[in-house]
Amino acid sequence: MNELIKVNYYNEQPTVSGRELQGFLQVGTAYKDWFPRMCEYGFEEGKDFCSFLSESTGGRPATDHQLTVPMAKELCMLQRNERGKQARQYFIAVEEEWNSPDAIMQRALRIADARVAKLHSENLALQTANSKLSMQVQIAQPKVEYFDELVDRNLLTNFRETAKQLKVKERAFVQFLLDRKYIYRDKRGKLMPYAEKSDGLFEMKECFNEKTQWSGTQTLVTPKGRETFRLLCQGL
């Protein structure tokens, strides 16, 4: 098909320049007067055409319009001349080619390729973000473990540290707990909490002393226990 008038593809739709169409139709009226008069036939901007500034050839850029093919065909009919009839037949052929199964398939493939490329790009971005996040987690993990250990140490205290925080002597504090039946000594002399009085006051913890290489279970006092004994130990 010979190209009578250049067809553009604005937003994936065939369009034609209003000025180029007017030039082909050999309209004697100036474009700035002709186009507004044509719009009086009910054409709407944003639906049938859109405005733009044409490239300047030295002077001020002129206003032009991208026309849909249906609008271009109607304008050709309105001219009622041979050039209009010729252009209208040309636009009918453009529409037929645009709506042919092969053309529709090609457009669908282009859209699918664009979507696949976009998804691929988004997937790469997510992989990069996940990789960075994983690296940050690996870097932060030792700090987190150290912080957890530090918090654990601060929350749970042995009898000596608890007595120090309560500002009482360790021996007096332990004896107070023994007398009040909060703890007892097992056969090996280890201080153990009574089950009926240890609800939230003590916690058994596996401990290891790097200096002495000692390991075993130790009775530690919880924050609830320290506050309870703070109130009970006043006057010791």
What would the pLDDT profile of 84-102 be if each residue is shown by its tens digit? 999 999 999 999 988 888 8
Stretches where the chain sits below pLDDT 50 are 144, 146-151
Euclidean distance between the first and final Cα of the chain, in Å?
Answer: 108
* Local structure of 234: helix, strand or coil: coil
Q: How far apart are CA 22 and CA 42, in angstroms?
A: 18
Structural domain boundaries of the chain? 7-99, 156-232
| Phi and psi at residue 229, to the nearest 5° | -75, -25
pLDDT at position 1 is: 65
What would the pLDDT profile of 123-147 be if each residue is shown by its tens digit? 888 888 777 777 666 665 655 454 4
Which is it for the CA torsion 157, 162, 165, 169, positive or negative?
negative
